Structure 1
Amino acid sequence: MMTENGITKSNRIYWASGIVSICGIIFEVLFGALGSYILGDGVKQYTLTISLFLTGMGIGSFLSEKVMKKLIQAFIIIEFAVALIGGFSAFLLFGVTAYLGDGSDAIFLYTTILVIGTLTGLELPILIRKANEIGVQINKSTARVLFSDYAGGLIGGLLFIFLFRPQFGLVKSAFLVAIINLLVALWVLCMFRKEIRRLKTYASVGVIIFALLIGGVLFGEEMALSFEQKLYKDPIIYSEESKYQHIILTKEQGDLRLYLDGQLQFSSSDEHRYHETLVHIPMSLTDQRKNILVLGGGDGLVLRELEKYGEIEGITVVDLDPRVVKLAKENRLLRELNENAFENEKVKVLHEDAFDFMEKTESFYDVILVDLPDPNNESLNKLYTLEFYSLLRNHLEPGGMIMAQATSPVFARKVYWTIDRTFEETGLNTENVHLDIPSFGNWGFVLASRGPIDITDVDIDVETRYLSAELVPSLTKFGKDEDGTIENEDGEKVELKSNTLIRPILIDQYEKAWQHY
């Protein structure tokens, strides 16, 4: 029969198991986010993270059979290790990526996931044995510790999504979660201090680790930024971890560049080529241009071009991340580049998923401009599907035009023509346009409409730096190594299929196409 002190200690063990479970889940999703940012393909990285973490937990559970004595000491050592390895994981990953690269970052990340998973797998069996040792029946101790673990898992996931990532970023979050692990270890150390020999040694080690982690919280992010700087050609002048992505601005000798999750969005030296092509070709071909929809475009550069048309009555911008729009409104360099485009009273900005917006909107648009990131993960892929393009068609006015960026027909040839094929599958007519943009290379767009498209009807009647009516027809010409005739290794023509929600073929195509660039 348990004493009152035993009941108190067992309850504290359940609390400890719940807290370390919260930390374990936060580390797991943090590793997935790190993999998505550093290595790309979020679905792949989260799948590998979950698989490796669970495998590690299985290994840890197996190894826990060897730990039958000095259970509290073992638990404290495990938490010290989780705090050190997990705390410095994000910081060191940026360093490995900056200085080693060439696959070293992936090896480091996956090894760290496996190690933290193994340590996490060791925790629960040890706590269950300790609860049983105190006097709790084994079936009750197991059930209660597991309940604390699973309940803590939900809390951990929510904390990462709504608190740690948006408020502290990846590097600082790792250090803060590690401090929680360490504090649990020190709490347990204090609670069972009478059972522990060399108490001062454990306490001293804990204090040293605590000091290291506090140093990481205070200075780790700044040092990691210096590592990250090596990943970019130009000096970083702004860095932010938003709820949705990592935002970076760089500047060198007048060239301002925006990166989202490491992917270049524009270079101020040549972005006018991209945005003039995206905007002015469809605007010149539509029957009327009163109501315009922009999907993406949070940097305001599409708006800058649209505001050259006085007859526009309303522009709706749908961009998921409010932090990008806030940056475009407030950053002096971006405001100069987009010419304070968001101050136009005709502009309405909505921060929501483009697919969700198209499903619920009842509006129709004369021109729809799709300025979204490339389809390199599941969430972006759905914005390049038959279902999404059908929604665009359903909200296009008769005589209206859709213009969508569609990646490079040179570097990602099959991806580009699959996007074109997907548009055609909706019943829309398409025209293909591409041009050279020095910072990107050869880049492609798909122009779509309900009716026939005569590219020779283009009449550019606004001021431009690159585009002219005479130039446009030449942009529809493709070389033999970039046209829509796709052949397999045997020289046989491949019939491209459309990209759908059920069969997202574009993600695999995109990853294979860009892996060497």
Structure 2
Amino acid sequence: MTDNNAIKSKRIYWASGIVSICGIIFEVLFGALGSYILGDGVKQYTLTISLFLTGMGIGSFLSERVMKKLIQAFIIIEFAVAFIGGFSAFLLFGVTAYLGSGSDAIFLYATILVIGTLTGLELPILIRKANEIGVQINKSTARVLFSDYAGGLIGGLLFLFLFRPQFGLVKTAFLVAIINIIVALWVLYTFRKEIAHLKAYSVMGGFILFLLIGGVMFGEEMAFSFEQKIYNDPIIYVEDTKYQHIILTKEQGDLRLYLNGQLQFSSSDEYRYHETLVHIPMSLAEPREDILVLGGGDGLALRELEKYQDTKEVTLVDLDPRMVKLAKNNPQLAQLNENSFENEKVHVVHEDAFDYMESAKGFYDVILVDLPDPNNESLNKLYTLEFYSLLRNHLAPGGMIMVQATSPVFARKVYWTIDETISGTGMYTENFHLDIPSFGNWGFVLAARKPIDISDIDINVDTKYLSTDLIPSLTKFGKDEDGTIANEDGEQVELKPNTLIRPNLIEKYERAWRNY
């Protein structure tokens, strides 16, 4: 093999590795987009991987028909990957905003299949070209596949630790597409003597590159305008963190926080939620010196806890440091939580709540579970028998646990499954629900090592909503929301605890909230 052919073969291997990096980034990007737009991360990543691999299989099959003009074919494929992949995230937000539910799923899954097919076309073409220039077929296949697989690992790590946290979903798609175009133009230059219509390919590649650079510069701003249509109120803050997509909206004084598209609170009525979450268990706990808050990175539960002078230490465990930083530094959010993170009693830990409880030492007098609903696998483990057993093991003998447990009206089976799961640890439970206008009817489960007597509840701190006289009414459930659940034949349904081995809560949650 001549020196010139050796250079070309090495560039083919490099090209295969780089496009593999781009391919895997697009694959995990589509999974992340599906999780954010459509929900249920496990489902979306499963469908993404399945569709992408199916597309690669289709592409490999179609590659049998590409036996001539291999470099031209590769360049055209890269142009297509760059154009479709680059604009994929941007257009998905547009489809979601203007065409609504259903259309976004069809668009995303079609895009995954197309990019997967194009990716499946790349490698066989590169292998044939490496063989054509004098590399033995067994060596060319092995080396190209090595470059592909190694590139896949690098791509996954780059997306996880660089692209998503630093650039967000929309800009990442454009940046990765630019890499595809640069590889195509590099290969075009390497094999320029073999290419007919070289100028046409160069102009086409340059034009697509120009569009993608424009996407990097302005695409995120335009996608932001698409996203604005999804929310009722003007967006005043948006951030993609390592763990979630944070949005703050505000309209006529109503500040709202959304995490991954799910409403967390409205400033117009959040006090109803947080007063119930905090003051009922705090009223019953004996003593109430050491408090643990799981979640609550907005600082609103901490605000209510500041009303108790006998509290000595409050530990808040929230996974995302960016959420806590926002709660501290955003003037409007800090005003709402009354700068609760400045309280010297508060100690913040940035760790997964399950991991924290596994390694926790000592006992807590009150544990407040202020976590998002169990709409994905990561959150589901925080609603399992195993997790609640950890809470029980770190609860002081006279202590209380209060768990936000979604809506007993909209997600009746979910609410009572959470209650059944907590009861499965051997703790006693009491059920509460109330109307929160921005959420609807919302439920909580109170748990303790000893029987709970609600007549002992005495709300003696300053509140806007909760009062001692109101408490008994919060424990009354209507026939369509109580724990007596029947199937279509009128037979009572036995709810089973949610466990790590048998996670039955996610499916119930998805089915319950599908129409809301």
- Please give the per-residue CA displacement for 1:481-508, whole angstroms capped at 9, x wherever unaligned: 0000010010000111000000000000
Cα deviation for residue 461 of structure 1 reads: 1.3
Unmatched segments (≥5 aa) in structure 2: none
**Secondary structure class of the residue paired with 2:460:** coil
| Corresponding residue of 1:148 | 147
| Corresponding residue of 1:283 | 282
- Please give the per-residue CA displacement for 1:56-96, whole angstroms capped at 9, x wherever unaligned: 00000000000000000000000000000000000000000
Which residue identity lines up with residue 183 of structure 2 in the other structure? V
Cα deviation for residue 55 of structure 1 reads: 0.1
| Corresponding residue of 1:196 | 195
Q: Does 1:111 align with 2:113?
A: no
Say what the alpha-carbon RMSD is for the aligned residues: 0.4
Q: Does 1:166 align with 2:203?
A: no
Cα deviation for residue 373 of structure 1 reads: 0.3
Which residue identity lines up with residue 501 of structure 2 in the other structure? I
**Secondary structure class of the residue paired with 1:499:** coil
| Corresponding residue of 1:123 | 122
- Please give the per-residue CA displacement for 1:112-160, whole angstroms capped at 9, x wherever unaligned: 0000000000000000000000100001100000000000000000000
Instruction: List 4+ stretches of structure 1 deviating above 3 A.
Output: none
Cα deviation for residue 473 of structure 1 reads: 1.2
- Please give the per-residue CA displacement for 1:190-209, whole angstroms capped at 9, x wherever unaligned: 00000001101000001100
How many residue pairs get aligned? The number is 516
**Secondary structure class of the residue paired with 2:230:** coil
Q: What aligned pairs does 1:213-232 form with structure 2 within 5 A after superposition?
A: 213-232=212-231
Which residue identity lines up with residue 88 of structure 2 in the other structure? S
CA distance in structure 1 between the aligned counterparts of 2:292 and 2:24, rounded to whole angstroms: 39
CA distance in structure 2 between the aligned counterparts of 1:92 and 1:497, rounded to whole angstroms: 42
| Corresponding residue of 2:353 | 354
| Corresponding residue of 2:513 | 514
Cα deviation for residue 6 of structure 1 reads: 1.0
**Secondary structure class of the residue paired with 2:480:** coil
- Please give the per-residue CA displacement for 1:211-252, whole angstroms capped at 9, x wherever unaligned: 100000000000000000011000000011111110000000
State the TM-score, normalized to the length of structure 2.
1.00
Which residue identity lines up with residue 401 of structure 1 in the other structure? M
**Secondary structure class of the residue paired with 1:230:** helix
Cα deviation for residue 101 of structure 1 reads: 1.1
| Corresponding residue of 1:77 | 76
Which residue identity lines up with residue 317 of structure 2 in the other structure? V
**Secondary structure class of the residue paired with 1:266:** strand
- Please give the per-residue CA displacement for 1:29-75, whole angstroms capped at 9, x wherever unaligned: 00000000000000000000000000000000000000000000000
State the TM-score, normalized to the length of structure 1.
1.00
Which residue identity lines up with residue 485 of structure 1 in the other structure? T
Cα deviation for residue 363 of structure 1 reads: 2.5
CA distance in structure 2 between the aligned counterparts of 1:211 and 1:264, rounded to whole angstroms: 38
CA distance in structure 2 between the aligned counterparts of 1:192 and 1:184, rounded to whole angstroms: 12
CA distance in structure 1 between the aligned counterparts of 2:454 and 2:134, rounded to whole angstroms: 82
**Secondary structure class of the residue paired with 2:208:** helix
Q: Does 1:26 align with 2:25?
A: yes
CA distance in structure 2 between the aligned counterparts of 1:493 and 1:197, rounded to whole angstroms: 74
**Secondary structure class of the residue paired with 2:232:** coil
Which residue identity lines up with residue 323 of structure 2 in the other structure? V
CA distance in structure 1 between the aligned counterparts of 2:101 and 2:172, rounded to whole angstroms: 26
| Corresponding residue of 1:97 | 96
Which residue identity lines up with residue 5 of structure 1 in the other structure? N
Which residue identity lines up with residue 498 of structure 1 in the other structure? P
**Secondary structure class of the residue paired with 2:507:** helix
| Corresponding residue of 1:247 | 246
Q: What aligned pairs does 1:52-63 form with structure 2 within 5 A after superposition?
A: 52-63=51-62
Q: Does 1:447 align with 2:428?
A: no
| Corresponding residue of 1:86 | 85
Q: What aligned pairs does 1:101-500 form with structure 2 within 5 A after superposition?
A: 101-500=100-499
CA distance in structure 1 between the aligned counterparts of 2:36 and 2:83, rounded to whole angstroms: 22
CA distance in structure 1 between the aligned counterparts of 2:142 and 2:455, rounded to whole angstroms: 73
Cα deviation for residue 7 of structure 1 reads: 1.1
- Please give the per-residue CA displacement for 1:340-380, whole angstroms capped at 9, x wherever unaligned: 00001111111110000000111210000000000001000
Cα deviation for residue 5 of structure 1 reads: 1.2
Which residue identity lines up with residue 419 of structure 1 in the other structure? I
CA distance in structure 2 between the aligned counterparts of 1:356 and 1:179, rounded to whole angstroms: 39
Which residue identity lines up with residue 461 of structure 2 in the other structure? V
CA distance in structure 1 between the aligned counterparts of 2:86 and 2:363, rounded to whole angstroms: 50
**Secondary structure class of the residue paired with 1:439:** coil
Which residue identity lines up with residue 4 of structure 1 in the other structure? D
CA distance in structure 2 between the aligned counterparts of 1:487 and 1:349, rounded to whole angstroms: 43
Cα deviation for residue 4 of structure 1 reads: 1.2
CA distance in structure 1 between the aligned counterparts of 2:11 and 2:211, rounded to whole angstroms: 27
